[in-house]
Structure 1
Amino acid sequence: MSDLVTGDAVVLDVSAAQLPARAAAFLVDLVVQVAAVIGVLLLVTRTAVVTDDTLATALMILFVVLVFVGYPVLSETLTRGRSLGKLAFGLRVVGEDGSPVLFRQALFRALAGFVELYLLTGSPAVICSLISAKGKRLGDIFAGTMVISERGPRSAGPPPEMPPQLAVWAARIELSRLPEDLIHTARQYISRADELSPAVRQEMGARIAARTMAFVSPPPPPGTPPYAYLSAVLAERRRRHLERLTRRAEARQASALHVPPYAAPHAVPPSRTY
């Protein structure tokens, strides 16, 4: 387990990705990239669009660089740190503070990765990952990122309780736009609020509550403390989630017990005598 300190100074317990999982994810991405390069190579050689060998070689080198640099940059930026390989093994690239990876960070990782993984056959990446306490390779150090395992165990306290004075308000709030990373940050803050001094607890809660209010409407009643507001949001979200699970279970049970009635036999029309 590793501790990440978010921009709101909340400590998150996450599991740093282990080297074997990262290597397996890299191999999956490598297969995808090699397949793309081979496909374009076959297309160029069969169509003979470029007749100049020098120009064709230059274009292939340019395309190889674009594939091996552009693929990780685009995939990690658009999917919040998940390439196909990382998605297959439950890994994700995040910032050192647990925030989603930025385009700038993904670009630094990809440029450094092209050197340490391909030009230097991965030796610097393996050595650096073994030395680093968080399993970082050189690209992660330059970009200020790390790779975490989303399937690893996370410490979680008891679910937050609904403040009675906010139950009516919480029943009508809109929660569909609330991002998962912010939910996890708020949950970690609620679980560790007792460990903080009153001043730090108030400051942290105000920051996280301000970010949460940008996605949750309507706003809470005036004068609501940040801790109570976040507890109400998380408790209401959990209540709605449990309700959906209950309805699905009841629907499956009803579907399993339902026996369709036999179709009534059609009445045979009386014969006519002519």
Structure 2
Amino acid sequence: MSALVTGDAVVLGLRPARLPSRALALVIDLAVVWAAYILVSLVMLFATASLDAAAQAATTVALFVLVLVGGPIAVETLSHGRSLGKLACGLRVVRDDGGPIRFRHALVRGAMGVIEILLTFGVVACIASLVSERGRRIGDVFAGTLVVRERVSSGWAAAVPPPPPWLVGRFAGLDLSRVPDGLWLAVRQYLMRMRQLDPQVSWTMAVRLAEDMAACTGTPLPDGVPPAAYLAGVVGERQARDARRAFGPGQAGGGTVAAVAPPWFVGLGPGPVRGSGAGPRPAPVPPAVFPSAGLPASGGAAEPTGSGGPGVEAANNAESRVRSTGFAPPA
């Protein structure tokens, strides 16, 4: 997938956190965790004073595992990557593709943190973060995560456009578990930068990404759906599933997504199904709202069909083809 992420679409809308901010967040987290560990240890020391030495040793090991290891894992899982130190420093742990982490990501990070942070006093973590291009420690590499800055300037991050309203919920039955993180990252980068790409490059990348996505999901591309709209629909479905996982059912309704759909997707309806002979169903959108798809931006109203010569008739035919799909392939 690296061949599809060209120089025109390599900017991920997240800024990786560097060692100073991560070290400050880690110091805050360690101070809180050790304070909790000492407090719980004192309580358990008085509670287990009547037990023998073996029972006290087992209690000490259990406290170490539960508080110093299990505590950070539970906090990162429940807060979706924001511990107290990261919250204070404006950081968050996310997946490599920018999505929220799950329990398995926090578990791998916590298990590796015992070795590279607790047992080596953070020396291994600091060296790994300095060597890594994106400031990741070993736990991040094994877990497939990245610590990013959330407090950035408003012009830095680019949002992934939501799918067209008529595609919301259409891909609810797709199996997205086999889609690799590299493909998700490439699709997100393409959707964020599609309006800035050359029209022919944009169309080619959309087709190739849509074919790769269909191969991973095991479901062929739907008829009459433009490749860019298909990619936006699949990404929107994954974001809706992540939102339902994080906030519960009913928090990622289709109406919300449709209401904020960008102008180059709103009104884009499915074209005719190949071989059915059916015409376009929804009302078309003027070509001017598709600057990223290589469509001409016409400011005036279109002339009625048949009111001009061959040039007007050809333009009307081209407009009819655009209305049927919403995207026009490059010449």
- Other structure's SS at 2:82 match: coil
Contact map agreement 2:37 2:68 (CA 8 A) in 1: no
CA-to-aligned-CA distance 1:186-213 (integer Å, 9 cap, x gap):
8983554341522534434323334536
Distance 2:148 2:43 in 1: 38
- Name the counterpart of 1:155: 156
1:30 maps to a residue whose letter is L
Q: Which has the larger radius of gyration?
A: 1
2:233 maps to a residue whose letter is A
- Name the counterpart of 2:37: 37
- Name the counterpart of 2:266: 229
Distance 1:42 1:16 in 2: 39
Distance 2:56 2:267 in 1: 59
Q: Percent identity?
A: 39
Match of 2:205 among 200, 204, 212: 200
- Name the counterpart of 2:127: 127
- Name the counterpart of 2:146: 146
CA drift at 1:90: 0.5
1:232-251 equivalence runs, <5 A: none
Distance 2:117 2:267 in 1: 43
Contact map agreement 1:108 1:143 (CA 8 A) in 2: yes
Q: Which has the higher helix share?
A: 1
Question: For the aligned residues, what is the CA RMSD?
Answer: 3.7
How many positions carry a matched residue from both structures?
Answer: 202
CA drift at 1:133: 0.5
CA-to-aligned-CA distance 1:213-267 (integer Å, 9 cap, x gap):
65343496xxx99941399xxxxxxxxxxxxxxxxxxxxxxxxxxxxxxxxxxxx
Distance 1:230 1:10 in 2: 29
Distance 2:96 2:117 in 1: 21
Distance 1:13 1:28 in 2: 27
**Is 2:40 the partner of 1:64?**
no
Distance 2:267 2:152 in 1: 25
Q: 1:192 to 1:46 in 2, by over 3 A?
A: same
Distance 1:188 1:17 in 2: 23
- Name the counterpart of 2:22: 22
Q: Which runs of 5+ in 1 are unaligned?
A: 161-165, 174-184, 232-274
1:30-109 equivalence runs, <5 A: 30-48=30-48, 50-109=50-109
Q: 1:10 to 1:205 in 2, by over 3 A?
A: farther
Q: 1:10 to 1:101 in 2, by over 3 A?
A: farther
Distance 1:64 1:157 in 2: 42
- Name the counterpart of 2:306: none
2:231 maps to a residue whose letter is R
Contact map agreement 2:129 2:137 (CA 8 A) in 1: yes
- Other structure's SS at 2:205 match: helix
Distance 2:158 2:69 in 1: 40
Distance 1:105 1:96 in 2: 11
Distance 2:127 2:233 in 1: 41
CA drift at 1:27: 1.0
- Name the counterpart of 2:137: 137
Q: 1:34 to 1:102 in 2, by over 3 A?
A: same
Distance 1:230 1:44 in 2: 64
Normalising by structure 2, report the TM-score: 0.52
